[in-house]
Amino acid sequence: MELAIKTKPFRDAAREQTSILTPLERAVLRGLARRMPAWVNSDHLSALGLLGFFMAGVCYAVSKQNPLMLHLVNVFIFLNWFGDSLDGTLARYRDRQRPRYGFYVDHILDTFGALFLLFGIALSGYMSERVAAAVLIVYFMLAINSYLAAYSIGVFKLSQWKLGPTELRLLLMIGNVFLIYRPRVYHRRYLLFDVGGVIAVIGMALMLVVLSIQNTRTLYDLERLPKQ
């Protein structure tokens, strides 16, 4: 099995990222990669990204007793961005790419990171458990769609509808600042993150439906059966 994997030719999926902050983010990441110490490699950065979301989840849970911990949540979300976004850039800059290994490790760590983060938000009391579960489920479904498209179509989309992981992190960090002073909206009736979570679920579900139809049509056209 291991020999078959080593000898089988591999073609990496084309990466497509069209989010709002992409041009600025690429410039920043390239500058950071040039200045990264030699002893730091992409594996270190991937681990840092996972640690960032794990600690963000812990700080979310603790913020139930002390809302000021939300500032630390933002620090760890930034660390997640630093590690998760820079690991691939550093590997490409140093020409130390491992496409299969990098793709698998990066996205399995994202899976665990999303679980830690949403679990911490649910424990914080700033988002109800049902909304947190719905956000996590729809996020995973959207991620699965991206991975299936990367395999079957050969295009891996890192952003959808001008929104990518960086923009979502930024929105979450802004929301954390608002939580400290206004945890609820509409005359203290609804939790702020419940409202945001429901909007996120609706938005991601709509993306999933549209992309599923588009991908199915693309694959149908690529593999039309001959008329009998």
pLDDT attached to residue 184: 64
Query: Rounded to two decimals, what is the model's pTM?
Result: 0.86
Helix (H), strand (E) at residue 156 = strand 155-157
Q: Which CATH architecture best describes the domain 11-222? A: Up-down Bundle (1.20)
What is the average pLDDT across 139-147? 91
What is the average pLDDT across 86-112? 90
Determine if residue 66 is left, alpha or beta; phi over 0 gives left, psi from -120 to 50 gives alpha, anything else beta: beta
State the Cα–Cα distance between residues 169 and 69, nearest whole angstrom. 17
State the Cα–Cα distance between residues 118 and 131, nearest whole angstrom. 10
| pLDDT (tens digit per residue) in 112-126 | 999 999 999 999 888
**pLDDT above 90: residue 210:** yes
State the Cα–Cα distance between residues 29 and 35, nearest whole angstrom. 10
How does strand 190-191 pair with strand 184-185? antiparallel
Unique residue bearing structure tokens 């007793």: 65
| Annotated domain spans of the chain | 11-222
**pLDDT above 90: residue 223:** no
